[in-house]
Structures are given as structure tokens and as C-alpha cells.
Amino acid sequence: MHASLDGQHLSGAERLVEHFDSVEDELICMLHRALQHPRGSADRISLQVDEIPCEEKLTGNLLDFSGYLVGNWEQGRILACHLLTEAGVSLGAASCSLEYLANGAAPGGSSMRGAMLVDAQSGERLEKDQTRGVRVSRMDVTKVVREQLHRCLAEHGLDNSHVIEALILASKVVSAPEIVAELCWSDDPDYQAGYVASSASGYQRINLLKPLGEERGGRAFFVRPGSADLAGLIQYLEKTPLLIDRIGKIDRGITWSGQV
Ligand code: AMP
């Protein structure tokens, strides 16, 4: 689903539905989502439905979830840089990617529509189109896992669509063997949290990664140096259906002391 208001992007979401009978209900949920968006009711909504042959579908597991609580966004960025280097990203690549996101990674200094691909050692940007970037798609959790996730996140006051969708997306991204880690913060001016994800450390939410009111956000996918098949990686991220059928651990927020 893509929805816009006054020509501006408002909302977008997708689902992988296991049973044909559920398609109609999911479409109605999407319509509600577009019409009841906190920033207004959409005046243009596009819905697209594609059949996916069962044999094309992969299954996988959701990343473990942990939360860090910092006192301000500047501390949050120091922590993000630390977590990225722990995951195997060079300090140079981590710092320059944080700067790209902070300044708007698309030409002209706005947010990209998708993610940057960044060489985890040199920091070189590898995506062909710096406005569109790489758009991860075709991933979801099963109905059972979605219900478990709602319940577990609710216990920590984190049962919201930002967290759920980002956790699903990050789980697909770091399942690619070429990816070392991901960094993200939202372009929603009211949502200051973000995360660093990697297959070894899971999804690490940081409560503050940008100032309130900041519209620039984005994602960086750090690619293992020397990964030759970038086209194959992009094909996996954008086109391969992945249905996540196993939930990970969900840990409480821990306060970060600022010591690295
Ligand atoms: P959001 O978390 O939806 O606020 O998105 C934050 C940023 O991540 C956006 O500004 C885009 O740069 C990027 N982004 C959003 N959706 C995707 C996606 N499906 N694949 C890759 N990057 C995305």
C-alpha cells in the first residue's frame, strides 16, 4: 500500500499473506491505515496484490531485540557508532555514514527513499541511485509470530508499527551473508528512536538518535568488503520473499552509561 496526501508520501506498508482467504481483511486494514494516519487522511491510495509461488518463499527468524536508553541524541549517536564498530564496521565507515544520514543522504540533502549501501571497511557508497537507494521488500512475519510480537513488545510499552516493521526489515537485511550491520533512524519528525542491527547482536534499539522535529532520516546497510555480487544482494533484499516464522528474544531497555 502506498498512500499520499497533497502529493506528499504519507504511508506505505506491505504484507505477505499465507492464505488467500486473508487477503481481503489485510486490504481493509491497509485502507484504514491510510485513511487514519496521524498526519492526516490520505487523498490517494494505491493497493497492489501479487501472487507469490510457494516455492519462491524462504523462511527465517526474527532478530533478538534489546533496547538502550540514552539521555540525549548526541549520546545515542556515539552509542550507535560504538555498536557498529563492535559488529565489524570500521570507525571511518561508521562515522561517515552517521554524517550522511544526519545531513540527508540524497543529493540536495533530503532523505533517500531507500537505503545507502556502504562498504563496511572503506565507507564508500555503493548504491547506484543515491535518491532511491535500495528498497527492501517482500518480508513479513507469520500471523502467529505477529501476535507473539505484539504481546512481548506490549510488556515493554513498545508495541507500535515503527518497531515491528523495522524489526522485520532489519531481520531480512542482516540475514544476507554480505551484510555486516544496519543503521537506521526514522524520517518521521516525531519519532526520535533508531537502531543498529547485526546477526550477532540482533536488533539494538536506541531511544534517541535525532533531535525532535528533524525530518532527515535514513538507513545504511554495511556490506562486507570485497562482496562481489552486489546485484545478487540487491535482488535478495528487494525481491526474494521471506516469511519469518520464529520469534527472537525480547529484552528490557538498559540504561547506557556513556562508557565505551
Ligand atoms: P522509516 O523508518 O519508515 O521512517 O524510514 C526511515 C528511512 O529509511 C527512510 O527515510 C528511507 O531512507 C529508509 N527506508 C524506508 N523504507 C525502506 C525500505 N523498505 N528499504 C530500505 N530503506 C527504507
Q: What is the pLDDT of residues 206-256, one digit of tens each?
A: 999 999 999 999 999 999 999 889 999 999 999 999 999 999 999 877 777
DSSP 21: G
Backbone φ and ψ of 70, nearest 5°: -115, 165
Ligand 1 contact via 106 beta carbon (within 6 Å):
no
Ligand 1 contact via 187 beta carbon (within 6 Å):
yes
Instruction: Provide the mean pLDDT of the chain.
Output: 94
> Facing residues of 117 across strands?
221
Pairing relation of β-strands 58-61 and 65-69? unpaired
Q: What is the pLDDT of residues 87-108, one digit of tens each?
A: 999 999 999 999 999 999 999 9
pLDDT at residue 260 tops 80: no
Take atom 17 of ligand 1 and give the residue whose Cα is closest: 114
pTM of the full predicted structure?
Answer: 0.94
pLDDT band at 54 (very low <50, low <70, confident <90, very high): confident
Residue 14 near residue 138 (C-beta atoms within 8 A)? yes
The residue type of 77 is R
Ligand 1 contact via 76 beta carbon (within 6 Å):
no
Q: Quote the pLDDT of residue 55.
A: 85
3-class DSSP assignment, residue 12 = strand
DSSP 56: G
Give the residue, out of 127, 169, 219, with the most ligand 1 atoms within 8 A of its beta carbon, to mutate for a pocket test.
219
Residues of the chain with pLDDT > 70, as a percent, come to 99
pLDDT band at 68 (very low <50, low <70, confident <90, very high): very high
Q: Quote the pLDDT of residue 259.
A: 67
pLDDT band at 152 (very low <50, low <70, confident <90, very high): very high
Q: Which three cell numbers stand for residue 125?
A: 557508497
Ligand 1 contact via 219 beta carbon (within 6 Å):
yes
Contacts of 99 (CB under 8 A, 6+ apart): none
Q: What is the pLDDT of residues 107-133, one digit of tens each?
A: 999 999 999 999 999 999 999 999 999
